[in-house]
Structure 1
Amino acid sequence: MSEIRGDAVHHPRSREFAAKVRAHHEELGHSERQIQGVELVTHLTRLVARLVQDFEGTVHRPLGMTWAGFRIMNTLWIFGDLEQREIARISGTSRASVSSALNTLEDRQLVERRRESDDRRVVRVSLTPSGLALLHKAIAGQTTRETAWTTVLDDDEISQLVSLLGRLVNQEHPA
């Protein structure tokens, strides 16, 4: 039997996932520290998948956007005009995905691309005024969803989690 949570169906078996992961890794003889690392990464990847699905379904698709388009537009909003290759690096999106998403965003007149006069190979991308207006709507909707997702934590827990995740994400590539 499944529980209805908003628009999504949350299956009780998904709650068993972490326990089963732990049991399998214990059978493999992994240490408690290794198992906790596996659990942490498992929880994070599952959470990201659920967040992206929720944000796309409740915020971005209703605005005619995709998750990739939102990430690109958000990157441009934060950093300003960027070279196309920098968007891929900063947003954590492949160059091919960025190029495809930019084609759609440009067709919708949400971004504009221009070649540098000094080096015609360099393509700079910027948000258009209509792109910025749409992005602000998406940010408002996503902020509402983010707040809903984090209500299970108190203020101190959120601060601690932000700090810990910041340490993980900002570390040099582990050896």
Structure 2
Amino acid sequence: MAEQKGRDIVSDTVRAAETTGASRTREFSELLRHHHRELGTTDPRDLDAIEMVTDLTRLEARLTKDFEKHVHRPLGLTWAGFRILNALWVYGPLGQQDIGRFSGSTRASISSALATLESRGLVSRERVESDRRQLFVELTPEGRETLRQAIAAQTRRERAWTAVLRDDQLSELVHLLRTLVNQETPSAE
């Protein structure tokens, strides 16, 4: 009897968490600001910057998880693999050492992703004649086709994610993010 009552309480708690999850997420920004004010941050610009960086980080994590689930995994790709294919498509063949800079991937994830992409026939790697330590990477026709499918599926997901914005809001957001992304890294204080 007590065991059943305990299971009922857990079940009720899980149901309550599921229904309040969205509202708890929405209140995060207010709670974040509140706690930062308690730490002494009162400048509205600082509070906006804190919230903006936190929201971008949270959004990036949600987008990555969503794209992995709905786009890349069904095609046998990872997020890192997609970014590498995309960089090779945009820039053409690249030295393996340049892929990280253009794809935003770490050296470890590049090495692992390239091995997988190469084993699937999506990229080819060749040694540079003048320096045998360097590898030159390029898309194969199969890689181009897989990337085409991934881009089509991801575009549908991106359209769904941005549907809450008006056209002018989306254009302004693109402009603002481009401004942030293209600036020099601020010096450390």
TM-superposed deviation, 1:32 = 1.2
| 2:39 is the alignment partner of 1:28 | yes
TM-superposed deviation, 1:155 = 0.6
Distance in 1 between residues matched to 2:22 and 2:173, nearest whole Å: 26
Specify the code of the residue in structure 2 equivalent to 1:133. E
Quick one: which of 13, 35, 50 aligns to 2:62? 50
Counterpart of 2:72 in structure 1 is 60
Q: Deviations over 1:76-120 (max 9, x none)?
A: 000000011110111111111100100000011100100111111
Q: In structure 2, list runs of 5 or more residues that go unmatched.
A: 1-15
Counterpart of 1:87 in structure 2 is 99
Specify the code of the residue in structure 1 equivalent to 2:40. G
Counterpart of 2:6 in structure 1 is none
Q: Deviations over 1:1-23 (max 9, x none)?
A: 325xxxxx954322221111100
TM-score of the superposed pair, with normalisation by structure 1: 0.94
Specify the code of the residue in structure 2 equivalent to 1:17. F
Distance in 2 between residues matched to 1:93 and 1:153, nearest whole Å: 29
Counterpart of 2:24 in structure 1 is 13
In structure 1, the residue corresponding to 2:133 is in which secondary structure? coil
In structure 2, the residue corresponding to 1:109 is in which secondary structure? coil
| 2:162 is the alignment partner of 1:164 | no
Counterpart of 1:123 in structure 2 is 135
Distance in 1 between residues matched to 2:21 and 2:174, nearest whole Å: 26
Q: Deviations over 1:124-163 (max 9, x none)?
A: 1000000110000000000000001001001100110000
Distance in 2 between residues matched to 1:150 and 1:99, nearest whole Å: 33
Larger radius of gyration: 2
Distance in 1 between residues matched to 2:146 and 2:47, nearest whole Å: 43
TM-score of the superposed pair, with normalisation by structure 2: 0.87
Q: Percent identity?
A: 56
Q: What is the number of equivalent residue pairs in this alignment?
A: 170
Quick one: which of 123, 141, 144 aligns to 2:156? 144
Q: In structure 1, list runs of 5 or more residues that go unmatched.
A: 4-8
The 1:10/1:58 distance shift into structure 2, 3 A limit, reads farther
Distance in 2 between residues matched to 1:102 and 1:12, nearest whole Å: 41
Specify the code of the residue in structure 2 equivalent to 1:132. R
Specify the code of the residue in structure 2 equivalent to 1:29. G
* Higher mean displacement: 24-33 or 48-57: 24-33
Q: Which has the higher helix share?
A: 2
The 1:127/1:99 distance shift into structure 2, 3 A limit, reads same
The 1:10/1:44 distance shift into structure 2, 3 A limit, reads same
Quick one: which of 87, 102, 105 aligns to 2:114? 102
